[in-house]
Structure formats: structure tokens, C-alpha cells
Structure 1
Amino acid sequence: MKTALKMNTKIVAFFALFILTVSANAQIDRSKPPVAGPEPEISIDKPEEFTLKNGLKVMVVENHKLPKVSYSLRIDNPPIATGKKAGIESLIGSMLGNGTTSISKDEFNEEIDFLGANLNFGITGGFASSLSKYSDRILELMADAAINPLLTEEEFEKEKTKLLEGLKADAKSTDAIASRVGYALSFGTKHPYGEYVTEETINNVSFGDALAFYEKNFNPENAYLVVIGDVDYKTVKKQIKKYFKDWKKSVDIKHTVPKPNPNVQYTQINFVNVPGATQSNLSITNNVDLKMSDEDYHAALITNNILGGGGEGYLFKNLREEHGYTYGAYSNLGNDRYGAARFSATAKVRNAVTDSAVVEALKEINRIRTEPVDAQLLKDAKAKYVGNFVMALERPQTVANYALNIELNNLPEDFYTTYLQKINDVSVEDIQRVANKYFKADNLRIVVVGNGAEVLENLEKTGIPIMYYDTYANPTEKPKFEVKLPEGVNAKSVFNAYIDAIGGKEKVAAINSILVKYEASAMGATVISEEKKMDGKLKQTIFMNGNAMMTVLTTQEKVTMNNNPLPENMVNDMKTLGGLFTELNLLNNDSAKITAIESVEGRDAYKVQVPGEVVSLTYYYDVETGLKVKEVQTTSMQGQTQSQEVVLKDYKDFEGIKFPATREGTQMGQLVVYKLLEAKLNEGVSDADFN
């Protein structure tokens, strides 16, 4: 009986749903687009405020929708340059929020986890959130961490080591170099926004320096605490007075923020050479003086959004969708109440199209300055911005930031309640006017960080003046790329020397097939790399714990990955790899060139580059022994570039032919070392393997 009743209930429910659906469809005219809903009303509660005797300013916004509370602490000191001790703020900031003088680091973090809360600190403040029933305790922990942080010399040395290791890791990163050089040139190295951290400045900082910096700069004199959530104002006021009253004032920090460097007198390329870089990092920039209180502020936001705010922006559609130069191209128009902000249009592009990307990006910047924006595009940009703005209001941090912005930037109280109206009031004329005001077409720095040997010749053809800088923004001479080679040395002679080094032409000529296997441990698994080779053919298979995970088959007719054909332009490049030894194929490739002599594992090596439309090869051969010591395969597709680098070591003889016994490479940030298991000549491989 119960079963029948359940079945009848389901049938009734089904027909009810069917009737509702038919009824709804009957009332909708699908030939017309739906009518837009009413404009969302923005309601941001005005915080209740009070100030402690020590200067801490507190803002409280009650919101009882959810049983949660968040605390945002902001130390609002003016930006300060730390000069020869640049990085001191990072060192001391990384030590905050990890225990107090009365609670060990482990106990502190364990209690935060137990409460299901979040708490983090930096030198400019902190953030905490929890369920409202734990609000008293999380506030107590936050206050204790701010007032009585556990600062030990042992922890300081650990953080210093981490920071130094990070600098070493970034030494050849075009992203890190571009950021450092861009800010240094725009603002000046003596400006707080333009100075940079080096190994020397970090080593200049002592533990005592860090403590003194904390005492002077992390204090309540210029501090704000914003509380949002399921709290009672009177109760939270008592709690804050209780836990923060012992936070002592330090000296009031008052100093003048220096002016940034002026914009350049004429548009120019500022080039930084990074040998071996597989991509160029572009940043087209000029300084701006834009504040949130300016009348242009809302129009500036939409103007930047149209130029480079996302996938619908001019830059993205041109450089990514139309030309495929990059994975993404974007712009940013900053604002700063101290008058030091930047406009920048950025992208990472393939070396071969660096000059073209510069020209096209400049074209789009000029376009938004000289051509009226399409009315529908403007409407869409506003709609997207409005949607993102409304969604952001769901986050407590956003509401806290808005409350602080009004306070710190001297904004009217209705700044955010009228925000959407001001966005929607932006006109086509406003876009063009603002673009001309903030995008300085005649005073742009085009910062290019890349491989000069591959990109400079074409950059010079743009006719834009080029200035040269090192990786720390110091002026330098134009890099020289002429390689002084011994007489008679060229790419073909290097390939022949390699053939001689591994066994000689006669031994190599007697080989019909090769089977090699390498083994490694990676991500908790045993990985086997197997290569089968015949004349013009190569089959590479990766096994993980005995299971075949990936197979790449290369012949002169096709290249497949797991039986799926690869694009034709990729196939043309990869045919070179098909065969017993790549060098035998490269002997007939006139595009292979020696571009440098570089050190690999402490030994000089000829760097031979083989360009390709999609897949480019870079091989390194020991100058003395002739053996190949490193391989780099770079793949550039759909605006993305990926490089695989392998170091070859410890060659061993197998039947008169030498193979590297060790292959070292990095996968997903982890060093993977492959050891040679076996090498067989003229056995274990047949034509059937390549069908």
C-alpha cells in the first residue's frame, strides 16, 4: 500500500510539473529577448564608529543574515621607502600571526583550526573571521597576535632564508624582472613603489632592525578595525575595548611621499635582455594621477574595462583572438590617494611576434583615444561591471574595504549607494575624453623583457627608440649577440662532433633500431620512459606504475598523441625528432644556428637553436667532449608557451654507442631524475611498433 501511494505521489508530481511547464512556455514569447530586470539597489549600511584612547578607529556594521563575523584590521601608514634594508617589511610581516608571547605557534594555529576560523596577518594589518558564537575568542586571539606577537630570532632567520630562496628562484623569471623594472622606471628606485628587494638589502636586515620596524610601524595610531557580521554593537564595543586597550601608541608616522618619476618625453622601448627566455613580457605604461574622489573615476573604470578588462577588451580580441600572439592581454588603470598610480597594458607573447604585439597593442590604445566606442559595447561593459560589483558585495571583506575607502579617501557617504548610477551615466564621449587624459599615447614606456638575440632585430624595425636596462633597471649598453666561434665551427660541425662523440659515423651507420628505457620516481609513482626508434620513426611511451599513460608516435607522415593526430603545423616541426638520432636529421636543416656559448653544469656548451612554427628546439653540446648536455623543447600554441628542459649526464657505452645514464628535468615544479634501465641496438623494435 505504501509503495502504491509513493508511486501515485510521483505521478501526480510529474503531471503537475508538466502542466506548469506548458503553462509557462505558453506565456513566453521566445521571439523577443527577455526584458531586463530592475536596476539593483545598493544598500551599504553605515557603520557605527568609536575610537579608543590609543587611536584605534573602529567601525561596526551589524548584519544578522548569517551567524558569522569578520574583523579587518588596517594599518594605514603612508608608504615608506626602506632603502638599503628593502624587504624588512616582508620579513617582519611574515612572522606576524604565528603565535603570541603566551601561546606557542603550534597551539595558536591548532586553536584557530579547531574553531573553524581564519586569521592571517601582514605588516599592513590582518583579517579574521569565524562563526559568531566564537567571536569573543577569535577577537581575543587577533588582539593578542597584534599586540604581543611571537617574534623570535630563529623564526626571523627562517623567513630570511625563504625570502632569499624566493629571490634566487625569480632571478630568471621574466615576470619578476618585468615587475621590478617596470615599477623602478615608472616611480624611481627611491620611491616606496619603485624600490626593490635584493639579496644585499635582505642581508642588511638584522633581527633587531625587524623588531624596531614592527614597534614603529605596527601600532594603533593610524589603525582601523572594521567589524562586519552577526554581532551586537554594544557587546563588540566592550570586547574591543577589553582586548585592544593595552595596544600602545608609538611615534606618529608622518612623512611626505615623494613624487614619482615624470612620464618619458617620448614613447620609447625600455628593453631588458634575458638570454634564453622563451617568451617576451610586454608592459606598455605611463604614470597617472587618479584618485577615487575624482569626477573621472567611474568613467576611467569603464574605459579601462573596454580597452583591456577581459576577454571582450580591445587588447584581448586583437592579440589573442585575431592574431594568436598571446594567451591573454589586459590593461589596468590604477588609482592612488598619494598621486602615484600607473596605466599599464600587459601581455606575454612568443619571441617571434614580440614586435608585432607591440605594434598591435599601440594600435588599440590609439583606437580607444581616437574612435568613438560602439554604443552596444559600452552597454555590455557597464552590465558586466555592474554584475561583478553586485556579486562582490556578498563578501564581508568587500564591505569592509568600502567602509574604509569612504573614510580614507574622503569620499561622500553615498559614494557606493550611487556607484551604479555613476557607472551607467558614463557616455561614449566620456570614454574618449578619459582615454586621452590617462593613456599617454606620446609618452609611453614600452617595457620589453625577453631574449634579445631573438627579438631585438625586429623590435628595431618598428622605428620606436630603444633604451637598454639590466634586470635591476640600471641603464646599460645594447647587448651584443655575436658569438665568437673557433674557425670552422658551425651548427653542422657541432652535430658531426656529437655523432663522433657517441661512437662515430661507422657505428651509427650500422644501427637499424634503438630501444632505450629510463626509470624515475615522481609523485609517489614509478615512471618508465620508453623510446623506440627506427629511421625516420620515433615512439615515446610513458608508463606510470606499469600502465601506459601517454604515447607519442612520430613518423615522416604523421604525429599522434594517444592515437589522436596533432595539428599539421606541429607535425612539420616534430618530424625532425623522428629517427635514430635527431642530429642526423639536423645535418640537413639550414635553419639550425649556434646562438651562444653558455655554461651548463659548469662547462661551456654550444647553444644550437632550431626554430619552428609551433615546436622549437634548443640543444646544448659540450665544447670539449661534443656530447649533448641539455635539451629544451618549446611549444607555442594559441598564445601559450611551454618549455620542457632536460639535462643529460653520465654517458655510458652500450655496444659501442654512448647514451646518457641520467636525464634530469622538472615536472610540476618537482625535480625528476630518470636513470637508464636498458639500451638495445638492432633488437626489440620492428615496423609494427609504428603503425
Structure 2
Amino acid sequence: MFRITIIQIINNFFFKTIFLGIIFFHTTIMFAHIFNRNLPPKSLKRKTTINIENPNFFQMKNGLKVLIVENHKLPLVRIGLELNYKPFLEKDKAGIKKIFGQMLRSGTKNYTKEELDDIIDYMGCSLYTSFSETSIFTMKKYLDKSISIMSDILMNSKFDNSKELNKIIKQRIIDISLSEKDPNSILQIVRNVLYFGKNHPYGEYETHDTIKNITLHDLKKLYDKYYIPNISYLSFIGDISQKEAEKLCNLYFSEWKRKSYKEDPVIKEYVIPSKIEIDIVDIPSLTQSTICFGGPICLKKNDPEYFSSMLANGILGGGPQSRLFLNLREKKAYTYGAYSILRSDRNIGCFSVYTQVRNEVTEKAIKDIIKEIFEITKNKISLEELDIKKKEISGQFILDFEDPNRINDLFICELKNNLPSGFYKNFLNKLELVTIDDIYRSCQKFFFQKNGRIIIVGKAHDILPNIKKLGYPIRYFDRFGSLINKKNE
């Protein structure tokens, strides 16, 4: 009657709890030597390559370079043309390239503007035109008609639609008037003028007068000089084979005549101050300051420092986990965002830090920007920062290849910048090889420590008393980057 079985003991709540606890304890001990979840898994030390194929490529007799990226998932094709030219001065017709892009679809030898618009609308295509790029996105069943339209635009644009030109000029003047009140637009103009100079293509800006100077004859001259096959890349992306592309090119582009092309000389007048200076654009109506710090740099994609400089900029101001963002926004709450840009360019690049802050904290924000730049140029970054930024850039780079257009763009970039073959295939390996010492050297080379310009677009009356405390020389400029002789009040 008093016999107690094992089953009865286990069924008892108290003993059941002890029994399960013993099992859990022994299981944990048994697997403890296998898994330690307090430590991250070790990364695999191996070379990482991206399994992508280069676009199919051929060159026509007239010099037109053709690329094909096949993707047969959907019956869609994108046809694009990109010019390979060096920047040129627009002078008293600054803004002509923007006008040109809009006028490129204003009528051809075979179609009026209205006919072009109707055909594009009927086929459900998307036509994009700018000075340097033209593309049409179409369904496969309309491919032949779409490429015939594109070839007509590239080879037979007339530029005789004065009514359309007048309409575009009026709209552009309205846009310029609106931008004159925008602190970001003002900063962009002043920054470009002070970085590169008004006699450099990157330092030009459009005004009402330069836009009004543009004529149909000017557009036609630009078209005749730059729209030639021997400085152009034509790309087919989507549901198309190389055989189909070759047939279409022979049918629609074989008559496009090669012409001689001579690049315009570019004056290099950009000047970096011998020490840090503050350049103020006084806009009395503003309640916050738009700040930019930096200057021009020489950095190309095929330079040895390209990958280390990319990582260095990412750590300084390349996103919400960067030093500038964490300091100025998360810690100090001065701004919604603070970022840095390190732009490589085959002509001349630039380094800039950007933020917008309240008038009363302008001086404090500038001090923190200089402090962060000084810190990253004097002391080496941590291994943790480097690893995080490598993973971030690598992950985004891999995701980009889900878009076939990106594969095409990178291959054209290789050709235009004379990069070694497979530059982007080996991108991840080159990124992984960057060391802390490489980052340190890039920071010292490209981040302005003792010189550079602090450009402020803001209300001088409110910010000047505290700005003077920084001890840097102060100069005043108008909204077009011209120096104003004004005493520090």
C-alpha cells in the first residue's frame, strides 16, 4: 500500500522540477565545449569573389562600343547610351547641358515632339534624355520600334523647335529663382566656386542671363560635336541576346558617322587656403546654419589609396554609425544628420563635411567637426570600426549586383577610367586587404587638418559673436561666391 514507484515520484511536481533541472544542467555541460554564444563566430579566412560575368562586348566600325547584359527573367529591355567626354566650360551659356537634355526629345528628322510623345505613350515605354545619357526602357515586343526611335534621336535630332525652347527656358528661370532662396542650393554654388574657381567646369553656375543666352544654334553645335559614335557606349540590358543586339546595331547605327573629337583645355585654378578659414554667406531670414567644411582633392579610382580612403570616409561620416553622426546628432542633438563625402574623379575630386544646425549651436557644431577630423587624423581607428565598415560596404556592394543595370554601369566605369580588367570582380578582396595603417595614411592625406574652408550659409548677425571665438579668419561672400568687402561686425 505504501510502495512508491518511479513513475509516481516523477509525477510529483517537486521531484519533476528537480529531474528536469538535472537533465538541463548535464545537457548544458555536455555542449558547452562546442558552443559559446557569448562570442561571435570566427570569420572564414578566404578570398571572396563575386560570381558575375562581364557584359558581352563588341565595337562597331564607326567606333561605337556596345555592351550586352542578358537577363531573360522578364520580357523587358533597357537601351542606353552614355557619352565619354571631359568636362568643358559653358561660359556665358552656363546651363546649356540641362537645356540640351530636355530639347533632345523635341523633334527629329522623322518625328515631331508630339509624335514622339504619342508613340512612347502608346508603347508604355520610358524615355530619358540628358546631355550625357539617353535611355529607353521597353517591352521586348516593342524593341525594334524603340531602338529605331532612339537611333533617330541620337543621329537625327533637329533642334528647330523654338516654341519648346522658349517654354523650357521660362521654366528653368523659375527653377533658378526658387533655388536662390534655398540654402542648400546657395551652398552648392558657393562651395563649387570656392573649391574649383569660376573658370573651371565644376565651378560654373547658371543664371537668368546665361539661360537666356542659349539659342537653337548653340544646341545644334553641341549636338554635332559630342553626339558621335566614337566617344559613346551603347548598352542593352534585359531580354536580348548578343546576336539580336548585333543585328539591331547593324540595322540602326551603322550609318552613324565617326567624327574627330578634340577635348577643350581645362584651367586648373582651384586653391586650398594655407590655413582654415571661415567663409560666410549672410542670409538674414535663416534660422539655421548650413555648414560645409573641406576642399578639392586629387583622388582617382585607380589610385592605391582608393579603397582605404573609401573606408576612412565611411568611418568619419558615411552613415548613421559614423563618428560625425554619432557625435553631432546622437550625442549632442545639434542636427538631424552630419555626413562627409569623399568624391573620386578622373579630373579633380573633393572632400566635404555637411550638416545643418540651429543658429545658436553653429560654433559648437564647427568645433566638433574639426575635433572629429583632428581625432581621426591623429589617432588610428579601432579594429572594430574597420571591420564594421568593411562589412557594411561589402554587403551593399553585393546587393547592388541584383540589378543588371549596375553590372553594366560598373563595366562602363572600368572602361572610362582605364581601370584594370576585373577591378570590380576583385572589389571585395581589395577592400578586405585594407589595414588600420592604410586608413591612417588616407585620413592624413585627404582630410583637411590645418587648412580647408568652413563655408556657412546662415544669419551672420546671430552666429558671428560665437564664430569669432573659433579664432579663424572670416570672409564674406555673396550667394554666387563673389567676395564682399565687409568688416567683421
TM-score > 0.5, shorter chain as reference: yes
Alignment of 1:356-505 (within 5 A): 356-478=364-486
Structure 1 residue 480, shift from structure 2 partner: 7.8
Q: In the aligned structure 1, how far is the partner of 2:413 from the partner of 2:238? A: 19
Q: Does 2:64 correspond to 1:51?
A: no
Deviates more, 1:116-125 or 1:49-58: 49-58
Q: Secondary structure at the match of 1:252?
A: coil
TM-score calculated relative to the size of structure 2: 0.88
Larger Rg: 1
| Other-structure match for 1:31 | 37
Cα distance change on mapping 1:115 and 1:293 into 2, 3 Å = same
Deviates more, 1:447-456 or 1:129-138: 129-138
Q: Does 2:94 correspond to 1:95?
A: no
Q: In the aligned structure 2, how far is the partner of 1:108 from the partner of 1:40? A: 47
Q: In the aligned structure 1, how far is the partner of 2:332 from the partner of 2:158? A: 54
Indicate conservation of the 8 Å contact 1:98/1:145, yes or no.
no
Indicate conservation of the 8 Å contact 1:70/1:396, yes or no.
no
- Name the amino acid aligned to 1:198: T
Indicate conservation of the 8 Å contact 1:77/1:253, yes or no.
no
| Other-structure match for 2:4 | none
Aligned counterpart for 2:254 among listed residues 242, 245, 250: 245
Q: In the aligned structure 2, how far is the partner of 1:116 from the partner of 1:371? A: 57
Q: Does 2:202 correspond to 1:202?
A: no
| Other-structure match for 1:229 | 238
Indicate conservation of the 8 Å contact 2:70/2:238, yes or no.
yes
Aligned counterpart for 2:279 among listed residues 255, 259, 270: 270
Aligned counterpart for 1:167 among listed residues 176, 191, 194: 176
| Other-structure match for 1:144 | 152
CA deviation profile, 1:272-330 (whole Å, cap 9, x unmatched): 11111122111101211101111111111111111111001111111111111111110
Q: In the aligned structure 2, how far is the partner of 1:188 from the partner of 1:106? A: 41
Q: In the aligned structure 2, how far is the partner of 1:118 from the partner of 1:43? A: 30
Q: In the aligned structure 2, how far is the partner of 1:478 from the partner of 1:355? A: 20
Q: Does 2:334 correspond to 1:325?
A: yes
Alignment of 1:536-685 (within 5 A): none
Aligned counterpart for 1:217 among listed residues 211, 226, 235: 226
Unpaired runs of 5+ residues, structure 2, are 1-30
Structure 1 residue 160, shift from structure 2 partner: 0.5
Q: Does 2:163 correspond to 1:157?
A: no
Q: In the aligned structure 2, how far is the partner of 1:44 from the partner of 1:71? A: 20
Structure 1 residue 252, shift from structure 2 partner: 1.1
Q: In the aligned structure 1, how far is the partner of 2:47 from the partner of 2:74? A: 25
Indicate conservation of the 8 Å contact 2:77/2:139, yes or no.
yes
Indicate conservation of the 8 Å contact 2:158/2:220, yes or no.
no
| Other-structure match for 1:286 | 295
Q: In the aligned structure 2, how far is the partner of 1:69 from the partner of 1:36? A: 40
| Other-structure match for 2:134 | 126
Structure 1 residue 30, shift from structure 2 partner: 9.2
Q: Secondary structure at the match of 1:397?
A: helix
Indicate conservation of the 8 Å contact 1:66/1:229, yes or no.
yes
- Name the amino acid aligned to 2:78: S
Cα distance change on mapping 1:57 and 1:102 into 2, 3 Å = same
RMSD of the TM alignment (CA)?
Answer: 2.2
Structure 1 residue 247, shift from structure 2 partner: 2.7
| Other-structure match for 1:563 | none
Structure 1 residue 390, shift from structure 2 partner: 0.9
Q: Secondary structure at the match of 2:336?
A: strand
Q: Secondary structure at the match of 1:461?
A: helix
Q: Does 2:319 correspond to 1:310?
A: yes
Q: Secondary structure at the match of 1:326?
A: coil
Structure 1 residue 98, shift from structure 2 partner: 4.8
Indicate conservation of the 8 Å contact 2:69/2:404, yes or no.
no
- Name the amino acid aligned to 1:74: E
| Other-structure match for 1:177 | 186
Q: Secondary structure at the match of 1:327?
A: coil
Indicate conservation of the 8 Å contact 2:71/2:404, yes or no.
no
Indicate conservation of the 8 Å contact 2:55/2:408, yes or no.
no
Indicate conservation of the 8 Å contact 1:97/1:146, yes or no.
no
- Name the amino acid aligned to 2:205: Y
Q: In the aligned structure 2, how far is the partner of 1:50 from the partner of 1:363? A: 52
Structure 1 residue 465, shift from structure 2 partner: 1.1
Indicate conservation of the 8 Å contact 2:48/2:429, yes or no.
no
Structure 1 residue 403, shift from structure 2 partner: 0.9
Indicate conservation of the 8 Å contact 2:101/2:131, yes or no.
yes
Q: In the aligned structure 2, how far is the partner of 1:407 from the partner of 1:428? A: 31
Cα distance change on mapping 1:99 and 1:208 into 2, 3 Å = closer
Structure 1 residue 29, shift from structure 2 partner: 6.8
CA deviation profile, 1:117-145 (whole Å, cap 9, x unmatched): 32201011212223334332222222122
Cα distance change on mapping 1:90 and 1:365 into 2, 3 Å = same
TM-score calculated relative to the size of structure 1: 0.63
Paired positions, count: 454
Indicate conservation of the 8 Å contact 1:273/1:479, yes or no.
no
Aligned counterpart for 1:108 among listed residues 83, 105, 116: 116
Q: Secondary structure at the match of 1:348?
A: strand
CA deviation profile, 1:370-422 (whole Å, cap 9, x unmatched): 12212112111111101111111122331121111111111111211110011
- Name the amino acid aligned to 2:340: S
Indicate conservation of the 8 Å contact 1:95/1:156, yes or no.
yes
Q: Secondary structure at the match of 2:295?
A: strand
Higher relative contact order (CA 8 A, sep 6+): 2
CA deviation profile, 1:211-258 (whole Å, cap 9, x unmatched): 222222222231111223322212211201211223334441323332
Q: In the aligned structure 2, how far is the partner of 1:42 from the partner of 1:386? A: 11
Q: In the aligned structure 1, how far is the partner of 2:47 from the partner of 2:127? A: 36
Write 1 or 2 for the structure with the bigger share of strand: 1
Q: In the aligned structure 1, how far is the partner of 2:133 from the partner of 2:116? A: 18
Indicate conservation of the 8 Å contact 1:124/1:218, yes or no.
no
Indicate conservation of the 8 Å contact 1:98/1:109, yes or no.
no
- Name the amino acid aligned to 1:217: Y
Indicate conservation of the 8 Å contact 1:392/1:398, yes or no.
yes
- Name the amino acid aligned to 2:323: Y
Q: In the aligned structure 1, how far is the partner of 2:147 from the partner of 2:197? A: 40
Unpaired runs of 5+ residues, structure 1, are 1-26, 482-691
